[in-house]
């Protein structure tokens, strides 16, 4: 098992925010509820999540997040009910460290995709101009 | 059997467990040995390169780019790529576009599409287990030589000789977009930020074509990319920031072996 610190983050990006336009307006909850990973129960700030408010509670034991409860999430209108028919997603966070694993194949960026990123950059520069 | 060749300016690897052609194969199969099958896959990539390379003056891509060939005169393969390009442009709200500055270059989409099509060659011949990798993007089927799920490493954006995670993958596609040069920036018109905090963005999807096009678009989105992925039930993602922090979708956890 890898020795990393993990923090669960309740993503503000509710599963209804399918278009980029929506995502850009989403406010993600930050990891402040479990900063330093002290043991205890932490209630996160009430955060606006595009279609309503989200508030979560995290339970930390021995430096690990053992539970995240959703205290509040958007449910006041038809739009939100649609969104909540899909589970509220969590994002999991960790600190990366280099390893030497024995693997069959490797996934990673190449110069090819790097070049493509440059072309995307150029396209975006034009789009934003 | 595992072989790598340099085609389309990148290493392409075909891995097929030898057991796949140890049993009697029916007369309906084209390939008697795994080596024959690998040959056919490499041959397919060479044909794709001839047809789609923006660096070959005789390619169909170059002819369209120069205006010598109209879309109405395009081959069925090119028409499919054009259709998929337009679909992707709409789905990613313009983050992915094969036409810019008056030029035409579908390379960003062709790689994933070609890997997926190459995998279909083996699927159609009855192969159950194999991996086809091109430039870090992989289509995965069945199990490896030991009968275990294929072990796929995630390359560290901080040190390309190192891995940051070992994944065990079922039949699916995986693609990573990113850059190994810090400071290679990307402009995001939505946030006004000129710097990209993202070092690499890996997507696992139902196939490598889906994984590749969304990895590219998500990388261009910056940190919002992971939220975009969390909202897609068919895709899982692992995002690495230059700060050394990785963020992944809950579904991605089931692929992590160590």
Tokens of A38: 């002290």
B89: which residues sit within 8 A by CB, 6+ positions away? B96, B97, B98
d(CA B113, CA B111) in angstroms, rounded, equals 5
Residue with tokens 């710097």: B195
Residue A113 has pLDDT above 50, yes or no: no
Measure in Å the smallest separation between the Cα of A25 and chain B Cα atoms: 10
Query: Scanning the structure block, which residue is given the tokens 């995502």?
Result: A23
Averaged over B90-96, what is the pLDDT? Answer: 75
CB count, 10 Å around CB of B183? 8
C-beta of residue B200 within 8 angstroms of C-beta of residue B174: no
Task: Give the sign of the dihedral formed by CA B34, CA B40, CA B42, CA B45.
Answer: negative
For the segment B212-251, what is each residue's pLDDT rounded down to a tens digit?
988 888 887 788 889 888 888 899 999 999 889 999 998 9
Mind listing the pLDDT tens digit for each residue in B47-81?
999 999 988 999 999 999 999 999 889 999 999 99
Could you say which residues from 59 to 118 on chain A have a Cβ atom under 8 Å away from some Cβ of chain B? 86, 89-118
How far apart CA B132 and CA B209 sit, in angstroms, is: 12
Q: ipTM for the complex?
A: 0.89
pLDDT band at A15; cut points 50, 70, 90: very low
Give contacts of B184 with chain A, Cβ < 8 Å.
114, 117-118
Q: Which one of A101, A103, A124 has the shortest CB-CB distance to B189?
A: A124
Which is more confident, B25 or A112?
Answer: B25
- Asked if B207 contacts B172 with a C-beta cutoff of 8 angstroms, the reply is yes
Give SS3 for B236.
strand
The alpha-carbon gap from B83 to the nearest alpha carbon of chain A, in Å, equals 19
Contact B233 A86 (CB under 8 A): yes
- The C-alpha atoms of residue B216 and residue B229 are separated, in whole angstroms, by 12
Distance CA B198, CA B176 (A): 12
Cα A24 to the center of its chain, rounded Å: 13
pLDDT in tens, A35-76: 456 777 776 666 554 445 556 666 667 666 565 555 665 444
Contacts of A127 in chain B (CB under 8 A): 94, 189
Name chain B contacts of A108, Cβ cutoff 8 Å. 136, 154-155, 157, 160, 176, 178, 200
Do A100 and B100 lie within an 8 Å CB cutoff? no
């Amino acid at each position: 098992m890898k020795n990393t610190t993990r923090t669960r983050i309740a993503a503000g990006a509710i599963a209804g925010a399918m278009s980029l336009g929506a995502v850009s307006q989403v406010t993600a909850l930050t990891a402040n509820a479990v900063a330093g990973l002290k043991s205890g129960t932490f209630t996160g700030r009430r955060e606006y999540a595009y279609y309503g408010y989200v508030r979560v509670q995290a339970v930390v034991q021995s430096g690990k997040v053992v539970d995240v409860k959703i205290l509040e999430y958007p449910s006041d209108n038809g739009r939100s009910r649609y969104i909540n028919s899909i589970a509220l997603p969590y994002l999991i966070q960790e600190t990366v460290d280099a390893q030497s694993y024995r693997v069959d194949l490797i996934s990673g960026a190449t110069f090819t995709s790097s070049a493509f990123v440059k072309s995307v950059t150029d396209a975006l520069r034009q789009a934003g101009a | 059997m595992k072989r790598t060749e340099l085609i389309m300016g990148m290493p392409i690897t075909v891995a097929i467990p030898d057991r796949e052609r140890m049993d009697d194969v029916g007369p309906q199969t084209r390939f008697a040995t795994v080596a024959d099958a690998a040959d056919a896959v490499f041959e397919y990539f060479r044909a794709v390169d001839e047809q789609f390379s923006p660096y070959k003056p005789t390619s169909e891509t170059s002819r369209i780019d120069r205006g010598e060939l109209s879309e109405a005169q395009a081959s069925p393969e090119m028409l499919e790529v054009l259709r998929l390009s337009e679909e992707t442009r709409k789905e990613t709200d313009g983050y992915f576009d094969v036409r810019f500055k008056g030029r035409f270059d579908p390379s960003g989409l062709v790689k994933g599409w070609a890997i997926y099509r190459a995998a279909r060659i083996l699927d159609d011949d009855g192969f159950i287990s194999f991996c086809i990798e091109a430039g870090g993007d992989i289509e995965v089927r069945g199990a490896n030589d030991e009968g275990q799920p294929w072990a796929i490493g995630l390359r560290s954006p901080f040190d390309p000789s190192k891995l940051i995670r070992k994944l065990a993958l079922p039949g699916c596609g995986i693609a990573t977009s990113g850059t190994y040069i810090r400071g290679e920036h990307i402009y995001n018109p939505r946030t006004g930020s000129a710097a990209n905090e993202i070092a690499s963005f890996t997507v696992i999807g139902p196939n490598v074509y889906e994984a590749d096009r969304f990895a590219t678009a998500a990388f261009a989105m910056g940190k919002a990319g992971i939220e975009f992925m969390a909202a897609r039930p068919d895709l899982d993602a692992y995002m690495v920031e230059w700060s050394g922090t990785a963020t992944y979708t809950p579904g991605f956890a089931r692929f992590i072996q160590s």
